Amino acid sequence: MKITLLGTGDAAGTPVIGCKCRTCMAAHKGGKSRRTRCAVLVESDHGSVLVDTGPDLRWQMLKSGIGRVDGVIWTHGHYDHFAGFAEFHRVQYNVDVYGLKETLDYIIDYLQFLRPRKHYVPMYESFELIGLEFTLFKVVHPPVENPVGVIIRDGNRKVVITGDTQREIPKRSMDLINEPDLLIADAIVPPTVEVKKHMNTAEAMDLAGAIGAKEVVFTHLSHFFKPHEEAIKEYPLAYDGMVFEL
């Protein structure tokens, strides 16, 4: 199993339009401070799946060399997690898409011209794609009613993607995500910045400890961090194109 973090930024991305902060100025020059919006590429010997399809998907796929995918999983219906699916126009029709019924129906109302094939997936019930086992678990991301994270299993290897969430993840989900080999955690800001709908870095690290994660990396990152090469000395921040092979 290979995991590539195609996009590690928050809804605005970094640089933020019009912002002159140190991190945005560093991002204008390129490098790891530049962060596009959310997408995770999951690959096996049997194919590839995207978890979320942020607005920057076209460039992400060109950069990663991926021309087609075998499926898409959506965690929730926020623009920065699905709008890039439109970039499949004239590239790939009838893509198999997976998620909760309310999530798929909401997103596909906007993207129906691509004629995706809907696969409604109940919470907490595992399904197989590209030879891997996927499970959706409930998280907390108001005002979304049923946002989910994603568990990926390959034999005895386990990856947890929290999706967008607050720290108060339900107990049933906590029991299910226990002891992952890799935790990819929403951590939008450092603890000095107030946030309501997401975890900050302290909360994400607390989650990693609570579930016994062997390795943790923070994603969905805002420009409120210092430039990447400075911030990485304090926090395990992801960057666009980061790869994990399990």
Per residue in 21-78, pLDDT tens? Answer: 999 999 999 999 999 999 999 999 999 999 999 999 999 999 999 999 999 999 999 9
Q: Alpha-carbon distance 50 to 69, whole Å? A: 7
For range 197-201, the mean pLDDT: 97
For range 85-91, the mean pLDDT: 92
Give the per-residue pLDDT at 112: 87
> 113 vs 37, 102, 108, 192, 214, CA distance in Å?
23, 18, 9, 43, 42
Q: Are 165 and 140 in contact (CB under 8 A)?
A: yes
Task: Enumerate the domain spans of the chain.
Answer: 2-245
- What tens digit of pLDDT does each residue of 105-146 get? 999 998 888 899 999 999 999 999 999 999 999 999 999 999
For range 211-223, the mean pLDDT: 98
Q: Alpha-carbon distance 116 to 242, whole Å? A: 28
| Upstream peptide bond of 15 is cis (omega within 30 degrees of 0) | yes
Percent of the residues in the chain that have a pLDDT greater than 90, as a whole number: 96
163: buried, middle or exposed (CB in 10 Å: 19+, 13-18, 0-12)? Answer: buried
Q: Alpha-carbon distance 223 to 19, whole Å? A: 9
Question: Is the pLDDT at 158 greater than 90, yes or no?
Answer: yes
CATH architecture of 2-245: 4-Layer Sandwich (3.60)
For range 83-95, the mean pLDDT: 92
